[in-house]
Amino acid sequence: MHIPASSSREITTPDGTIWKYAVKDEVGISYQTLNTSSPESGRHLNKEVHEIYFIIQGTATFTVGDETFEVSDRDIVVVEPMVAHSIETDGLTFMTITRPDWFFEQYEHVGA
């Protein structure tokens, strides 16, 4: 399977840009830039989706559950479903692999 960059869907958010690639419902892949902390307050919570972040460039502080750590180029962060998480950064480029493909209905913003 080949998925050309030209087939990705560009999604501009207040925090940065997401290029979402259609693979299958069972998995999602995106290339993202983040220019500020996400979310601005509180945390993200995926009820069903597993996320793997591969850091391409930049630094950030990730909080996943009760654990907080610094990340940089070539680091990987794994977030299991039902674990609240957030990212503090001034500039980060990363890929996200999700299983299943991320969908809004399973997402919740908590602790705002």
pLDDT at 84: 98
Q: What is the pLDDT of residue 100?
A: 96
The pLDDT score that the predictor gives to residue 43 is 97
Question: CA–CA separation, 1 vs 24, rounded Å?
Answer: 11
Q: What is the mean pLDDT of each run of 10 residues along the chain (112 residues)?
A: 92 94 91 95 97 98 98 98 98 97 95 80
User: Could you tell me the domains of the chain?
Assistant: 5-110 (2.60.120.10)
CA distance 82 to 64: 10
pTM of the predicted structure, to 2 decimals: 0.94
Query: One-letter amino acid identity for 6?
Result: S
Measure the CA–CA gap between 26 and 23, rounded to whole angstroms.
8
Locate tokens 């980060």: which residue? 92
C-alpha distances in Å from residue 24, one per residue of 19, 21, 90? 15, 9, 32
Angle at 79 between CA 84 and CA 9, to 5 degrees: 100
Model pLDDT, residue 1 = 86
What single letter denotes the amino acid at residue 2?
Answer: H
